Structure 1
Amino acid sequence: MTRGRLLYVCVRPQQGAAAAEYESFRRATRLDASQLAQHDLVREPLPADVFDRYSGFLVGGSPFNTTDPESTKTDVQKRLEKDLTTIAEQAAAATTAALFTCYGIGVVTRFLGGEVSRAYPEDTGATVVELTREGAADPLFGELATRFSALTAHKEGSAVPPPGGVLLAKNEGCPVQAYRVGDRLYATQFHPEPTPKAFTERMAVYRDDGYFAAHDYEHIAAQVLAASVTEPVRLLRRFARRFGPEQS
């Protein structure tokens, strides 16, 4: 696989939150805008030549849920889940590289025949994640601390990785925090990209979306700002160095 530019794939309807998420990914990977492009999948389908133009994909989070009943999913959600599945298929076949986060892990899990349910939500804020033995030996996760804090806010999750998935990270609240398929498809339940400050700004956008009680915003935001979240961004830097453009 030829190394080249990476593409951030936006699956957030809220454009302000999407723009901030792109900046978080760009800063975390230490890439500039010429090295990390962006595509708004909510408003534009995946281009036909996308796999010729980019060597890897970073998929952001979303207020969508894969466990939403099909009858309630909008045409946009159905289309973007189909496009995300196409990216996952290519990464599983090792013709590209991809890292899916939060909502995206559910899309990948279902594509691979795994189960996603509402049984493993996590509160908004920092949680402790622990690497598995396989995670400690993984090319991307292996340089991280064996236990670290990460930021989460999700309504669904999985008890076990899907068929073919190698469990890389876990915790008690949500047993599948990260897994790998082959050596080019990665998925995390936690958000690897935001700083605590950026996360509180995202919280403000979604304060009425049921992730936490709106009147608790100030209290939860203060806890997030006090959290030490250093390891997840290192994961993104490793991904960018391994699959992205050559860096000096």
Structure 2
Amino acid sequence: MTTGPLLYVCVRPQQGAAAAEYESFRTAMKLDESQLGRHDLVREPLPAEALERYRGFLVGGSPFNLADPESTKTDVQRRLEADLERIAARAAEGDGPAALFTCYGIGVVTRMLGGVVSRRYPEDTGPVTIQLTADAASDPLFGGLADRFTALTAHKEGTGETPAGARLLAVNDACPVQAYVVGDRLYATQFHPEPTTRAFTERMAVYRDDGYFEADDYDRIAGRVLAASVTEPARLLRAFARRFAATA
């Protein structure tokens, strides 16, 4: 584990994809490696002192699915989800570290809050339109973003209702809950805020045969991704860094 005021928590078994995701977060947030540490939660449990050591956590995506039956999950996935819930619960308390959970991570937070995660709300791989809610205007992170913007998604599960205790910040038609906040320190997004379009196509290549899209459609979908403009999601990450990393 490397250290910094913020910690990227890897939940991807594919180490190459995880390393690239870390770099995407770090670059989007304009942080150096001393400001954004990283921990591979797939291979190492969360250290007990982590929740006191860091000012904030960034949780990336994963090929795991929270809605899969518990009987089909590996011991690693169950342990990993328990550690993620510890991070989310601590951030929800409001007097400790902040956290931003993305894609797979929003499901962890939703379940912790008693919400339902299911395969009823998947989104195709590629660019989608995100619409902010009225509550987003006064939020410290989302308030500076455009009311409508393009982001990148690729997921097999989602939720149709905001979980109890959360304020809905962003929506779209295919997956109604795109972002929410709990208190003022726990954020979750269904869309990926960190990758450039080029980085996203490289991630698509890693997961080409994992059922997110037809493998033969890679070139067509990659073309749509590369043609998209995804400026606002990175601004969200920079706002998180300014607010929660004292050295950012």
With the shorter chain as reference, the TM-score category is over 0.9
Q: What is the deviation of 1:135?
A: 1.1
The 5 A counterparts of 1:89-238 are 89-94=89-94, 95-238=96-239
The aligned counterpart of 2:71 is: 71
Contact 1:35 1:245 (8 Å CA) reproduced: no
1:136 Cα deviation after fit: 1.8
Report how far residue 234 of structure 1 moved: 0.3
Question: 2: distance between equivalents of 1:216 and 1:44?
Answer: 35
Q: Which runs of 5+ in 2 are unaligned?
A: none
2:162·2:180 contact (CA, 8 Å) conserved in 1?
yes
Specify the SS of the correspondent of 1:143.
Answer: coil
SS at match of 2:42: coil
SS of the aligned residue for 1:62 comes to coil
Displacement after TM superposition at 1:237 (Å): 0.2
What code does the residue aligned with 1:195 have? T
Aligned counterparts of 1:196 and 1:59: Cα–Cα separation in 2: 19
The 1-side partners of 2:208 and 2:191 are apart by 18
Find the aligned partners of 1:107 and 1:204 in 2 and give their Cα distance. 25
Distance 2:22 2:246 in 1: 17
C-alpha displacement of 1:245: 2.6
TM-score, with normalisation over the residues of structure 2?
Answer: 0.97
CA distance in structure 1 between the aligned counterparts of 2:243 and 2:180, rounded to whole angstroms: 17
Superposed CA offset, 1:83-120 (max 9, x none): 00000000000111000000000000000001111111
Q: Could you list the runs of 5+ residues in structure 1 that have no partner in the other structure?
A: none
Q: After TM superposition, give the deviation of residue 53 of structure 1 in Å.
A: 1.6
**CA separation in 1, counterparts of 2:54 and 2:8?**
10
Pair 1:86-2:83 in alignment: no
Q: List structure 1 runs of 4+ shifted beyond 4 angstroms.
A: none
Give the count of matched residue pairs.
244
- 1:246 is displaced (CA, Å) by 2.6
SS in structure 1 of the partner of residue 216 of structure 2: helix
Q: Indicate the SS of the match to 1:66.
A: coil
Give distance in 2, aligned partners of 1:139 and 1:19. 29
Q: CA RMSD in A?
A: 0.7
By how many angstroms is 1:51 displaced?
1.7
Matched to 2:182, the amino acid is V
Q: Secondary structure at the match of 1:68?
A: coil
1:52: how far off?
A: 2.2
Whole-angstrom CA distance in 2 between matches of 1:22 and 1:49: 21
Could you list the per-position Cα deviations for residues 21-52 of structure 1 after superposition, in whole angstroms to 9, with x for gaps in the alignment? 00000001101000000000000000011022
Q: Judge conservation of contact 2:52–2:97 (CA < 8 Å) in 1.
A: no
- 1:164-212 deviation digits (Å, cap 9, x = unpaired): 0100000001000000000000000000000000000000000000000
1:60 and 2:55 are equivalent in the alignment: no
CA displacement at 1:139 relative to structure 2: 0.6
Is 6-15 or 135-144 further displaced after alignment?
A: 135-144
- Give the Cα–Cα distance (whole angstroms) in 1 for the partners of residues 76 and 246 of structure 2: 31
> How far apart, in 1, do the equivalents of 2:20 and 2:122 lie?
24
Q: Tell me, what secondary structure is at the counterpart of 1:71?
A: helix
Question: Aligned partners of 2:17, 2:192: CA distance in 1, in Å?
Answer: 14
TM-score under structure 1 normalisation? Answer: 0.97
8 Å CA contact 2:5–2:247 kept in 1: the answer is no
- The one-letter code sitting in structure 1 at the alignment partner of 2:18 is A
